[in-house]
Amino acid sequence: MASGNESGAAAGGPPDAAAARAKALREQLNHHAWRYYTLDDPAIPDAEYDRLFQELQALEAAHPDLQTPDSPTQRVGGRLLEGFASVRHTVPMLSIRTETDTQASGATAFDARVRRELGLGEADPPVEYVAEPKFDGLAMSLRYEDGVLVQAATRGDGEVGEEVTQNVRTIGQIPLRISSPHALPLHGSLPPVPPLLEVRGEVYMRRDDFDALNARQREKGDKSFVNPRNAAAGAVRQLDPAIAAQRPLSFFAYGLGAITPPEQGGPQFDSHLELLQTLKSWGFPVAASVERVFGAAELAAYHARIGALRDSLPYDIDGVVYKVDSLSLQRRLGFVTREPRWAVAHKYPAQEQLTTVLAIDIQVGRTGKLTPVAKLAPVFVGGVTVTNATLHNLFEVRNKDVRVGDRVIVRRAGDVIPEVVGRVPSTTDSARAMLSSPGHAPRQPYVPNFRMPRRCPICASAVVREKGEANHRCTGGLFCSAQRKQAILHFAQRRAVEIEGLGDKLVDQLVDGGIVRTLPDLYRLGLVALTGLARMAEKSGQNILQALEKSKQTTLPRFLFGLGIRHVGEATAKELARHFGTLDAVMAASVEQLCEVSDIGPVVAQSVHTFFQQPHNREVVEQLRACGLTWPEGEPAARAPQPLAGQTVVLTGTLPTLSRDEAKDLLEAAGAKVAGSVSKKTHYVVAGTEAGSKLEKALALGIPVLDEAGMLELLKGAVP
């Protein structure tokens, strides 16, 4: 019987046709999973992948004996486990010595030790090393027999780990079968896959996957995870593989366990780098930042370079690892106890530290938002001493279950504000658990020792929380001195009317001393009042007066932004000014008219309208004008053409003629979004001199990089 329809013949046809089709589908799907997860370069649309996947699923359902351990259908689901079996590692999983000296001297000390052990003198050439990031996840050993993943095991105590194969199969970046078509263009001849191969590496969770996971957890009212490493460890040890499959994990290979020896036909590697390149060609993810370097100076330079990139990497690292590249030198160096002499982990300053919550205070912001702030026992984290960390709002406090007296983890990564990420279990926990566990009488409800105040701690006005809102607010408005201080600082900031030298210390003095109550009061300040303040010399007083004078010549968008109308940021202020042309027209606009402004919706329109309906706000505006604040006014302008609408641009380094703000203004006027960090979603990076990690990342991701001239061309629409 002849059939012209191949897939039809496979689905319903004789078993050998079905088997051939299943094999072809497995190969195709595994190849596309590698393109998608490991290379981040899918070759077919998701829908096509799904179609192939469903075809294989249907085939396996019809012929269960066609199901193989390397089938991509085995990545999802699986049976519920009762526990994990123990696995004895054929080759122990060692740890590496940690160099806690986070300075360049940490690298020099390692190199000096290696040279001494190898008996190298000053005249001998530098030692060749491979330098890698130290991924902050959990170590995993993947066992392949005849190229098929048969077992995944955690490190455990190094000798015996736990068998977590089912959960590890859900990790898209981990090949279920190693096959040769993964050859990368640069590789001529590939070593054949040995009958036995154990690949060692790190299972981790990307930061964006972690953030998304935590957002989902919060939405469901479930506990959020403290950091990506804990989330990854929890996912790997999850007994329900369906849950594990929903926790997106990633993998980087960095070494070998057992392998078929060369005498029995296994590959012969001479260097660690060669080994990593081979693993990569077999389809395993290897970090792009792995490099071969020579001698101590280059080790230290690598440490510094990756350190600068640390905050912009898509995953957490806690240091870098140096390994002697030559495998024969590695063998000569050998081990001390359980650590190789040929490797070291060179750390970075910790971004997380333990400390104690001494109190939970309330801060009142410009819009009246009450923010609970943890007062902490001082702790050195992320390069600074931290004594305060935000808890965002009451719900975060409850969700994280943080109380005064708790031991907590504080995190400060990059220049973001320090955050309490969670509490650590302590001895009081068993008491807490007892109180809430059934059978213990009397049972007491959970009693937090922090509450949101009913009255503003600054001005005693009522505190409210609008329905569906997470934030509590003080209703005192400009009656509240905390809000007044913030409002003044907002008005005086560089991107608003800019009053140079008017910082928070001075504003505290002026407001607390009753010298300034409203914005116009600023312009009524005299030298006598200013120099009467503590620590204010006559010269500084004069400087402030000059800055105030200078700030009177402003622009309508800056003035509107500076008023601090809720929901009116810089971009909205610019749109309002462009649309209406004059302040009077903005002030007179109805909600409907405001809604006609592009990018302004009903919420923003209502907020602007309500603001200018308040007599005291109109009064402030009139007084400011009376004090001499002026700006050019014009006709309502048509919207300029927006050649960069929908494009995201990142600025880095110093441009030859434009300031950072000027470049930002130009880009935004052309419709671009100016972002602070580079990601796959970035369309262009504009780089000047001394561009750092953002430029490196752009190059790594293949994002077009422009100089100032290139940016100006782009604005003219000349760059495609």
- Catalytic amino acids? 134
Contact in structure between 509 and 402 (CB atoms under 8 Å): no
Min dist CB 203 to ligand IVH, Å, is 9
Min dist CB 639 to ligand IVH, Å, is 51
255 binds ligand IVH (CB under 6 A): yes
Using the Cα atoms of residue 280, residue 285, residue 27 and residue 46 in order, give the sign of their dihedral.
negative
User: What is the full DSSP assignment across 541-589?
Assistant: HHHHHHHHHHHTB--HHHHHHHTT-TT--HHHHHHHHHHH-SHHHHHH-
Min dist CB 277 to ligand IVH, Å, is 15
Min dist CB 413 to ligand IVH, Å, is 18
Stretch that binds ligand IVH, among 38-46, 134-142, 239-247, 703-711 (CB under 6 A): 134-142
Closest CA to 134 of 411, 294, 345: 345
210 binds ligand IVH (CB under 6 A): no
321 binds ligand IVH (CB under 6 A): yes
Nearer to ligand IVH, 117 or 361 (CB): 117
153 binds ligand IVH (CB under 6 A): no
One symbol per residue from 342 to 381: x for binding ligand IVH (CB under 6 A), - otherwise; what is it? Answer: -x--------------------------------------
Nearer to ligand IVH, 90 or 180 (CB): 90
Min dist CB 321 to ligand IVH, Å, is 4
Out of 17, 24, 39, 96, point to the residue binding ligand IVH (CB under 6 A).
Answer: 96
Q: Which residues, in sequence order, are bridge partners of residue 371?
A: 363
322 binds ligand IVH (CB under 6 A): no
| 114-115-118 Cα angle (round to 5) | 85
Stretch that binds ligand IVH, among 73-81, 132-140, 471-479, 662-670 (CB under 6 A): 132-140
Q: Which residues, in sequence order, are bridge partners of residue 251?
A: 203
Reduced to 3 states (helix: H, G, I; strand: E, B; else coil), residue 413 is: coil
Stretch that binds ligand IVH, among 129-137, 174-182, 306-314, 570-578 (CB under 6 A): 129-137
Q: Which residues, in sequence order, are bridge partners of residue 129?
A: 293, 324
132 binds ligand IVH (CB under 6 A): yes
Cis bond upstream, residue 195 (ω within 30): no
Out of 134, 303, 473, 579, point to the residue binding ligand IVH (CB under 6 A).
Answer: 134
> Cα separation of 91 and 58, whole Å?
40
Stretch that binds ligand IVH, among 44-52, 127-135, 169-177, 667-675 (CB under 6 A): 127-135
198 binds ligand IVH (CB under 6 A): no
259 binds ligand IVH (CB under 6 A): no
| 377-382-385 Cα angle (round to 5) | 35
Min dist CB 105 to ligand IVH, Å, is 21
Buried (b) or exposed (e) across 421-437, using 16+ Cβ within 10 A?
Answer: bbbeeeeeeeebeeeee
Nearer to ligand IVH, 172 or 319 (CB): 319
Min dist CB 40 to ligand IVH, Å, is 20
Stretch that binds ligand IVH, among 43-51, 89-97, 484-492, 612-620 (CB under 6 A): 89-97
Contact in structure between 131 and 194 (CB atoms under 8 Å): no
> Cα separation of 571 and 569, whole Å?
6
Out of 295, 340, 477, 653, point to the residue binding ligand IVH (CB under 6 A).
Answer: 340
> Cα separation of 199 and 195, whole Å?
13
594: how many CB neighbours lie within 10 A of its CB? 22
Nearer to ligand IVH, 348 or 612 (CB): 348
Q: How far is CA 368 from CA 35, 453, 475, 513, 583, in A?
A: 50, 13, 7, 21, 25
One symbol per residue from 466 to 495: x for binding ligand IVH (CB under 6 A), - otherwise; what is it? Answer: ------------------------------
Q: For the chain, state the CA radius of gyration.
A: 31
135 binds ligand IVH (CB under 6 A): yes
> Cα separation of 572 and 563, whole Å?
12
Using the Cα atoms of residue 121, residue 125, residue 129 and residue 131 in order, give the sign of their dihedral.
positive
Long-range contacts of 29-37 (CB under 8 A, 24+ apart): 29/53, 29/56, 29/72, 30/70, 30/72, 30/175, 30/176, 30/177, 30/179, 31/179, 31/181, 31/182, 33/72, 33/172, 34/175, 34/182, 34/283, 36/172, 37/172, 37/173, 37/250, 37/285
Min dist CB 303 to ligand IVH, Å, is 13
Nearer to ligand IVH, 279 or 510 (CB): 279
| Residues 226-245 close enough to bind ligand IVH by CB under 6 A | none
> Cα separation of 58 and 37, whole Å?
24
Point out the residue whose Cβ comes nearest to ligand IVH.
Answer: 139
Q: Which residues, in sequence order, are bridge partners of residue 345?
A: 98, 321
Stretch that binds ligand IVH, among 93-101, 418-426, 549-557, 558-566 (CB under 6 A): 93-101
Stretch that binds ligand IVH, among 88-96, 239-247, 435-443, 569-577 (CB under 6 A): 88-96
Q: How many residues appear in the chain? A: 720
Site size toward ligand IVH, by CB under 6 A? 13
95 binds ligand IVH (CB under 6 A): yes
Nearer to ligand IVH, 342 or 684 (CB): 342
- Per CB under 6 A, residues contacting ligand IVH are 94-96, 132, 134-135, 139, 202, 254-255, 321, 340, 343
